[in-house]
């Protein structure tokens, strides 16, 4: 998870809020100091043991033009599950009080459009937050957070007086009951009247000259700002612009330009939402505290409080939505028959699909009992989750329903099948060719699963295709051959985009979640090929020769294994060693692997007929 703030004060508030102990133990470590994008790497551990890994960064200036490139660069480098922001904003005076925290239901750039002689015409591109996260924010109570508490009598009195000073009726404001409960209203008003600060004007209150003077003096001397307030967490649209607004007219303009319910106004939220949307980050969240109302009387008294309260709300939501409890590494061993190759694992349902010399079968993980069996021996079998199977032998591709293999589509291919792979969404199947040594190119057929239609013939490999891997979104497919060469193609056009030299001796490969790296399994171990530079970016210490590679946990982990069944996991944030599945005793050669459909477990098959199911520690 990546958290970005716009200002140094907001950065410090986010860092320090995590260290208060309210969210559990936390640590921060500086990373990439001296570069243009330094950040803090941290981990929060809740009292119940659930963990959340985060990176925290800030640009050198506020605004979209400074925030967008920083966020995009770190997203590409770190591959987070979520991009988030906390800090301060202006709040709609009709619906927010200073100190309230706004969670952006959606974000957009409000001053994007066309300016004509007839006025401004908005062209708003709104990016919504995930509905489940909106609901979580709506249901969040701030009670119990360090910055939340009842207003002190002086703060409550000043809140009422400032409403009158602004020409508003405090009775009508949504925050009134939080500052002055119904049963104390009369008492508080009479106390202010007795002090000579308010008086009755017909049926309404107004400030006296002494009241005006008191408000001015109180604001001037309030250099620290509040420490605790009865703030609310409000969920609604947030509008982003390129100027600091102080004219008091922004809310009327926003309503006139098409979004009448805007709660917050800032200079960065839309950049965070757009970065997540454009770079396919699974989630985004912007949480900002109201420091003012974008009016001419704008001051900074509430900035420190707003930054701190927004950070507390952000960490609360993120630890609830994204923190995971570390279970002991799962090492379930199942008997599946000699030479079994795991094809798919339904971790929740407790079953797996394996291929062995007798055919393909679905078995219970615990007992190895057969659920169904197809007594056909295919050369290669692949799966999309556990719902769809693709199997090939000779010049025939078979597509089978993972629940009922009697539902089957056979397709004639123009290549002799060596290996097959399915895209994660089950829409595409790639069939690699087996060719005699020196016989020419080994094509890959890319077909549509629904009817077996040939979409593209992918050329460029010059030996029997050894392995095929799709990107998580199915937009790329990569393959390696027996001679060690590897290539990448665009699935929409069929055009080759990358070529990995055969001198690396690639035996297996996987595409990173952001599609910026190829994890190559080679005789020397795992090597990371950076697509942008067309070169090896780094080598990882681990199993060698590496015969399989895969990304787990939403791309947070890279796993690789050797022929003897040893498997190692690395964090893709730091590329440091993270966890390991040791070789079995007695030793047995690995026959294959499969990533479970929960994206958390890995199944490794052995020649002795065992399949070990392993869940690495969360990153």
Within this chain, do residues 93 and 166 fall inside the same structural domain, yes or no? no
Side by side, the strands of the sheet bearing 567-571 are 546-552, 557-562, 567-571, 577-581
The share of the chain scoring above pLDDT 90, in percent, equals: 48
- The pLDDT tens digits of the residues spanning 512-523 come to 999 999 999 998
Question: Distance between CA 560 and CA 544 in Å, rounded?
Answer: 9
Quote the tokens at residue 521.
Answer: 């399994």
Cβ–Cβ under 8 Å, residues 192 and 157: yes
Express each pLDDT in 239-271 by its tens digit.
Answer: 999 888 877 788 888 888 888 899 999 999 999
Distance in angstroms (rounded) separating the CA atoms of residues 575 and 160: 55
At 493, is the pLDDT very low, low, confident or very high (cuts 50, 70, 90)? Answer: very high
Q: Give yes or no: residues 247 and 316 share one domain.
A: yes
- Look at residues 423, 435, 543 and name the one whose alpha carbon lies nearest to residue 482: 435
DSSP string, 556-567: TEEEEEETTS-E
pLDDT value, residue 439: 65
CATH of the domain at 14: 3.40.50.1580
Per-residue pLDDT at 329? 39
Both 173 and 221 in one domain: the answer is yes
> Are 392 and 524 found together in one domain?
yes
CA-based end-to-end distance of the chain: 11
pTM value?
0.56
Average pLDDT, the chain: 87
**Can you tell me the mean pLDDT for 147-165?**
90
Same domain, 568 and 523: yes
Reported confidence tier of residue 325, pLDDT bands at 50, 70, 90: low
**Residues 409, 533: one domain?**
yes
Count up the domains in the chain and report the number.
Answer: 3
Q: Report the alpha-carbon distance of residue 469 to residue 558 in Å, rounded.
A: 14
Q: List, in sequence order, every residue forming a beta bridge with 388; answer none if it has no partner.
A: 384, 401
pLDDT number for residue 120 = 80
List the single range of 95-109, 457-471, 474-488, 555-569 with lowest mean pLDDT: 555-569
Q: What angle do CA 17, 317, 473 make, to 5 degrees?
A: 120
Tell whether 119 and 189 lie within a shared domain: no
From 321, 338, 355, give the residue that closes a domain. Answer: 321
Question: Tell me, what CATH number does 465's domain have?
Answer: 2.130.10.10
Q: Based on the fold, state whether residues 245 and 222 are members of the same structural domain.
A: no
Whether residue 282 is found in the same domain as residue 343:
no
Domain boundary among 210, 227, 244: 227
**Stronger pLDDT, 583 or 56, i.e. the higher one:** 56
**pLDDT tens digits along 110-120:** 988 788 887 78
Check pLDDT > 50 for residue 453.
yes
Range of the domain at 161: 150-227
Task: State which of 295, 321, 347 marks the end of a domain.
Answer: 321
- Averaged over 229-236, what is the pLDDT? 96
DSSP type of residue 294: S
- Segment 121-136 mean pLDDT: 90
* pLDDT score of 334: 53
> Is the same domain home to 112 and 167?
no
pLDDT confidence bin for 459, thresholds 50/70/90? very high
Predicted confidence band of residue 338 (pLDDT cuts 50, 70, 90): low
Residue 331's pLDDT band, with cuts at 50, 70 and 90, is very low
State pLDDT tens for residues 63-101: 999 999 999 999 988 888 899 999 999 999 999 999 999
577 and 453 inside one domain: yes
Give the per-residue pLDDT at 597: 83
Q: Worst-scoring range by mean pLDDT, 37-51, 315-329, 401-415?
A: 315-329
Q: pLDDT digit string (tens) for 403-452?
A: 788 888 889 998 899 999 999 888 999 999 988 766 678 889 999 998 89
> Do residues 541 and 607 share a domain?
yes
pLDDT value for 356: 79
CB < 8 Å & 24+ apart, contacts of 46-50? 46/319, 46/323, 48/325, 49/325, 49/326, 50/319, 50/323, 50/324, 50/325, 50/326
Looking at per-residue confidence, does 47 or 147 come out higher? 147
């Amino acid at each position: 998870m990546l958290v970005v703030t716009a200002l140094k004060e907001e950065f410090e508030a986010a860092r320090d809020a995590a260290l208060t102990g309210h969210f559990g133990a936390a640590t921060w470590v500086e990373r990439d100091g001296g570069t243009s994008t330094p950040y803090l790497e941290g981990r929060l551990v809740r009292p119940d043991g659930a963990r959340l890994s985060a990176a925290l960064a800030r640009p050198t200036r506020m605004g979209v033009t400074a925030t967008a490139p920083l966020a995009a660069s770190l997203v590409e480098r770190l591959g987070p599950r979520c991009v988030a922001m906390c800090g301060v904003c202006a709040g709609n005076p009709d619906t927010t009080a200073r100190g309230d925290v706004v969670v952006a239901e959606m974000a957009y750039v409000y001053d994007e459009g066309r300016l004509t002689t007839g006025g401004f015409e908005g062209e708003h591109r709104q990016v919504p937050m995930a509905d489940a996260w909106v609901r979580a924010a709506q249901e969040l109570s701030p009670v119990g957070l360090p910055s939340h508490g009842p207003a002190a009598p002086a703060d409550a009195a000043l809140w009422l007086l400032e409403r009158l000073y602004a020409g508003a009726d405090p009775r009508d404001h949504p925050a009134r009951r939080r500052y002055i409960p119904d049963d104390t209203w009369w008492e508080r008003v009479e106390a202010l009247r007795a002090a000579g600060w308010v008086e009755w004007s017909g049926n309404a209150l107004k400030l006296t000259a002494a009241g005006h003077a008191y408000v001015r003096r109180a604001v001037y001397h309030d250099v620290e700002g509040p420490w605790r307030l009865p703030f609310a967490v409000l969920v609604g649209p947030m509008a982003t612009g390129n100027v600091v607004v102080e004219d008091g007219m922004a809310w009327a303009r926003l309503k006139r330009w098409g979004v009448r319910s805007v709660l917050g106004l800032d200079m960065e939220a839309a950049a965070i939402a757009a970065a997540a949307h454009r770079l396919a980050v699974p989630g985004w969240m912007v949480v900002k505290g109201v420091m003012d109302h974008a009016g001419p009387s704008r001051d900074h008294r509430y900035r420190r409080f707003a930054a701190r309260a927004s950070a507390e709300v952000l960490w609360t939501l993120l630890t609830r939505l994204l923190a995971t409890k570390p279970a002991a590494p799962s090492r379930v061993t199942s008997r599946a028959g000699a030479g079994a190759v795991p094809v798919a694992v339904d971790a929740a349902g407790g079953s797996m699909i394996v291929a062995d010399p007798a055919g393909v079968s679905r078995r219970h993980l615990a007992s190895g009992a057969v659920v169904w069996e197809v007594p056909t021996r295919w050369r290669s079998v692949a799966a999309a989750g556990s719902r769809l199977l693709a199997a090939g032998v000779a010049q025939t591709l078979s597509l089978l329903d993972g629940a009922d293999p009697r539902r089957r589509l056979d397709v004639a291919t123009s290549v002799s099948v060596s290996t097959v792979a399915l895209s994660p969404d089950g829409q595409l199947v790639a069939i690699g060719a087996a060719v005699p040594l020196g016989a020419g190119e080994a094509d890959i057929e890319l077909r549509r699963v629904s009817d077996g239609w040939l979409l593209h013939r992918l050329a460029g490999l010059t030996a029997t295709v050894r392995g095929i891997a799709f990107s998580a979104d199915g937009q790329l497919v990569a393959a390696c051959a027996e001679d060690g060469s590897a290539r990448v193609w665009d699935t929409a056009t069929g055009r080759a985009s990358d070529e990995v030299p055969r001198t690396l001796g690639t035996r297996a490969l996987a595409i990173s979640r952001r599609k910026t790296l190829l994890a190559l399994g080679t005789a020397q171990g795992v090597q990371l090929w950076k697509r942008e530079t067309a070169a090896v970016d780094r080598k990882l210490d681990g199993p060698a020769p590496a015969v399989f590679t895969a990304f787990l946990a939403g791309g947070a982990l890279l796993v690789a294994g050797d022929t003897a069944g040893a498997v190692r996991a690395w964090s893709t944030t730091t590329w440091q060693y993270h966890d390991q599945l040791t070789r079995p005793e007695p030793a047995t050669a690995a026959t294959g692997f499969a990533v479970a459909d929960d994206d958390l477990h890995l199944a490794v098959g052995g020649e002795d007929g065992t399949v070990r199911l392993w869940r690495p520690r969360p990153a």
